Amino acid sequence: MATQPADPPETAAVTNPGSAAQPSSRRLGRVDWLLLAAVLAVAAATRLVAVADFPIYFFCDEAHQANLARDLVANGFRDEDGNLLPAYFRNVRVFNLGLSVYVHALPVTLFGKTVTVVRATSVAVGLLGTAALMLALKWFFGLRLWWAGGLVMAVLPAWFLHSRTAFETVMMVSFYAVFVLAYLLYREASPRWLPAAVAAGAATFFSYSNGQGVMFVSCLLLLVVDRRYHWQVLRRHRGAAAAAAIVLILVAGPYLRFRYQLHPEMMELHFDDLHSYWTEELPTSAKLERFAATYLRGLSPGYWFTEDLRELERHRMLGYPHLPVWLAPPILLGLAISLLRAPRSPAHRLLLIGALAAPFSASFVDLRITRVLAMVVPATLAATVGLELLRSWAARVLPARWLDVALGLGLTAAAGAMTRDALVNGPRWFTDYGMQGMQWGARELFAELRERLAANPRERLVISHLWANNSNAFGDFFLSREERERITWGTIDDVLRERRGEVDSAVTFALTPAELERAQASPKLRVDPAWTEIPDPAGRPGFYLVRLSYTPDADTIFEAEREERQRLVEATVMIGGSPVRVRHPRLDMGGIEAAFDGDLKTLARTLDANPTRLELEFPTPRPIAELRLHLWTDEYHVELTIVRSDGSLHSEAVQDDRRLDDAPLTVRPGEPIPDARRLQLTIVKPGDAHMHLREIEVLP
C-alpha cells in the first residue's frame, strides 16, 4: 500500500494547528499578566505625562484629524462630497488621512477636541502595538525576556517623540505591530487567524500613506516565502480562506473606488505635492539609482544610530539618534540571529521582512523619520532577540533572576530619564519656533485669543498664518463656530499692500515678531505701543497682539505703489517652438516662462495683480482652438479676447470652480480662430492678490 508523504515542516500547523506553538505556551499566567500590565504602565506613563506639553508644537495635521472626525460624525459619516464611509479624507490639496479619522471620532465626540484628548487617543493605539509585539515575542519567538520588548520600544527616541503626537504614522506603526502578531497566529497557531491578519494589514494600509508600501512589500514577500503554507490553507481550510477573502473585498472596495473612480489623479498629485523625483524629467535608470541609494540609506546603521541632522527639527530630539546607540549591539545581534533562523522560523523571517519593508515608500521621495517609522517594529523585535542571547551568556556567571531585574530597572530608568529630559530641556532644544522650525504656538496663541473673545463680545481678530502650515485648522480645532465668525486670517503684508478695513477699527492683529518689525518700519502704519506679548519657550516674544492704524500719508503711498504694480512688463516666451512676446504683471515667484514651459511643477506667481492681465503677441498669425489654464484650486473668472489679422475682436468669458478638481480650466472660442495675431487674457480670483500661473497652453 502506498503511503502518503508527510507534510513539510512549514505546513505542519495546517494539519495540526498549534504544532509550532503549543496552546499552553499561549496562555498568560498571573505573573505574565502582571509583567504585561507593568510594562504597559511604564510605556503609558512616559507617553501620557504632560502629553500636551511635549512635543512643544501642536501640528496642523494633529488638529485636522480631529476636525475631520467631528465633521464626519456630524455629517452622518459622510465626507464633504457626500460619500458614505470614505476611505480617505482631503488634507488641503491631497487625500492622505483615512482610518485615523475614524479612530478619533469616538473620543472627540465623548470628550471634545483638546490637545490632550487627541494625543491620548494616539497613545492608546500605540500601546496596542506595544502589547502585540510583547505577545509575539513570548508566543512565537519563545523569549524569556518577552516583556522587555515593551520597555525596549519605550526607549526608542524616534518612537518616544512621535508616539506622544497624533500623527497618523503612529497608528500605522501600531497596526503593523498588530499585523505581525496576527500573521504569526495564522502562520504558527491556526489558519482561523487569517481574517484577523488581513484586517490588521488593512488597518496599516489605511492609517498612513507610507503604510501602503510597508504592506505591499510585507505581503509580497510573505506570499513568496510562505507560499506552500498558503496553498495548503486554501486546500484544507476553505472557510478561513473564504472569510479572509470577504474581509479583503470589504476593505479593498472603498480603496479601489477612491483610486479609480473618485480621484484617479490623486496618486500623481500626491507625489507632486511631496516633490518626488519620480515626477521629474529624469531617465528611468537615474530614478532607480536614486531609489536604491535612498532605500539602502534607510537600512543603514549610520542612519539609525547617529543623530540625523538632515531631519526637520520638530521630528528630532537634540542629541538623540532615531535608535539609541547603546541598543545597536543587541539589535544587530538580533538581526544576525534572525538571518540564521529564518529558514526554519516564520517569526524570524517576518522580523527581517519588516526591516526590508520599512524604508520602501520613503525611497520614492526622501527619508523622513515619519515615513520610515515602521522600522520601530523590527528594531524592537531584533533588540529583544539580541538581549535574550546576551542574557543567556551573562547567566553563566551571574544569577539569571538578578539579570532580569537589572534589565527591567535599567530600561525603565532609561525611559524615565528620556522623558524627564524631553519635558525639562526639550522646549529649548531648538529655538526656531516659526514656520521653518518647530511651528510652535497653536495652543498658547489660541488660549489667549479665546480669553479675549470671551472678555469682549465686540472683539475681532486678524490672525497671521505665517508661523505654521495650514494654520486655519487651528481655528476650527480650538474655537467654537461663534468664535470663528469673529476672526479672519491675514498677514501684515495684506494691510501693507492695500488699505484694509480691519485697520483703524477695533480689531486686534496677532502677528509674528518679523511682521511687527515690518509694521513698525512702514510709513503707512502706526502701531499702538500697548501690545500684548506671548512669550515662546525661550522667553522671547513669540506673538504680538496689537492694534494698527494708517498714517495720513498712507493713501498717497498706496496709490503710487498700485500704479507701479499694475504696470505690465515685457518678456519673451516659447510657444509651439516660436518666440512670443508677452506682457505681464510683476511677479514675486518664478519667471513668466514657467507658465509656458509645459511643466506643471514650475510656477509663476504675480506680486499683486488681481485681476491679472496677460497680453501675448505672436510673430505671425496662428490658429487658436482653445486655451487651457492650469491654475491653483480655487474659483476663477476668465475673459479672453483674440485680435485677428484684420483687427477684428473675438471675446469669450468663463466662470469656473477649481476647488475640487485639479483639471485645467478651458476657454474655447465659439469656433476655432485661424489667424490670431494677439491674445488678451484677464483672470480674476476672489479674495487673493496673488495669481498662481502653473501652465498656460495655447492650442491650435
Q: Are residues 348 and 496 in the same domain?
A: no
Residues 53 and 159 grouped into a single domain: yes
600: cell is: 506643471
Pair (539, 603) in one structural domain = no
Give me the pLDDT at residue 20, please. 41
> How far apart, in whole angstroms, are the C-alpha atoms of residue 686 and residue 700?
30
User: Does the residue 530 lie in any domain?
Assistant: yes
Residues with Cβ within 8 Å of residue 261, at least 6 apart in sequence: none
Closest CA to 610 of 519, 491, 494: 494
- Among 202, 522, 240, 180, which residue's Cα sits nearest to residue 375? 180
Q: Are residues 363 and 511 in the same domain?
A: no
| Cα dihedral 430, 433, 439, 445 sign | positive
* Strand (E) or helix (H) holding 412: helix 400-425
- Domain finish residue from 537, 556, 575: 556
Q: In whole angstroms, give the CA distance from residue 237 to residue 342.
A: 25
Helix axis angle for 194-207 and 99-111, nearest 10°, is 80
Give yes or no: residues 419 and 453 share one domain.
Answer: no
Q: Which domain range does residue 640 map to?
A: 567-699
Please report the DSSP string for 601-622 in residue order: T--EEESS-SSEEEEEEEEEEE
Asked if 565 and 607 touch (Cβ cutoff 8 Å), the reply is: yes
Domain identity same for 514 and 640: no
Distance CA 658, CA 632 (A): 7
Tell me whether residue 281 is in a domain.
Answer: yes
CATH number, residue 598: 2.60.120.260
Same domain, 492 and 410: no
Is 323 inside any structural domain?
A: yes
Q: What is the three-class DSSP state of 388? A: helix
Q: Distance between CA 156 and CA 169 in Å, rounded?
A: 15
The CB-side HSE value for 249 (13 A sphere, CA atoms) comes to 6
Are residues 489 and 636 both part of a single domain? no
Asked whether the bond before 191 is cis by omega within 30 degrees of 0, the reply is no
Would you call the peptide bond into 611 cis, given omega within 30 degrees of 0 as the criterion?
Answer: yes
Q: Please indicate, yes or no, if residue 14 is contained in any of the structural domains.
A: no
Distances (CA, A) of 672 to 536, 578, 631, 646: 61, 20, 23, 16
What is the C-alpha separation between 656 and 600, in angstroms, rounded? 19
Please state, for a pLDDT cut of 70, what percent of the chain lies above it.
Answer: 94
- C-alpha atoms less than 13 angstroms from C-alpha of 230 in its C-beta half-sphere: 15
**CA distances (Å), origin 565, targets 17, 506, 596, 613, 631:** 77, 30, 22, 12, 21
Which of 428, 457, 492 is the endpoint of a domain? 428
CA triplet 292, 295, 297: central angle to 5 degrees?
110
The amino acid that residue 462 corresponds to is V
Burial 401-436 (b: 16+ CB within 10 A, else e): eebbeebbeebbebbbebbeebeeebbebbeebbee
What secondary structure does DSSP assign to 505-516, as a single string? SSEEEEE-HHHH
Strand order in the sheet with 532-535: 487-489, 460-463, 507-511, 541-546, 532-535
Question: 23 preceded by cis ω (within 30°)?
Answer: no
Q: Which of these, 486, 476, 477, lies nearest to 454 by C-alpha position?
A: 486
Burial class from Cβ neighbours inside 10 Å (0-12, 13-18, 19+) for residue 375 reads: buried
Grid cell for residue 66: 480631529
- pLDDT at res. 278: 86
- What pLDDT was estimated at residue 183? 98
Q: Is residue 3 part of a domain?
A: no
Q: pLDDT below 50 — which residues of the chain?
A: 1-12, 15-24, 659-660
Beta bridge partners of 607: none
* 10 belongs to a structural domain: no
The residue among 388, 404, 428 that closes a domain is: 428
496 and 614, same domain (yes or no): no
- Are 104 and 118 in contact by the 8 Å Cβ rule? The answer is yes
Same structural domain, 639 and 511: no
How high is the pLDDT of residue 290?
96
- Residue 593 and residue 607: Cα distance in Å, rounded? 16
Statement to judge: residues 50 and 192 lie in one domain = yes
DSSP letters, 200-241, are HHHHHHHH-HHHHHHHHHHHHHHHHHTHHHHHHHHHH-HHHH
Position of cell 532605500? 295
* CA gap 290, 278 in Å, rounded: 10
- Structural domain tally of the chain? 3
Whole-prediction pTM value? 0.86
Co-location of 247 and 279 in the same domain: yes
Integer-rounded Cα radius of gyration of the chain: 30
Looking at the domain assignment, is residue 561 inside a domain? no
Pairing assessment for the beta strands 649-657 and 569-575 based on DSSP bridges: unpaired
Q: Does the residue 314 lie in any domain? A: yes
CA distance 108 to 520: 42
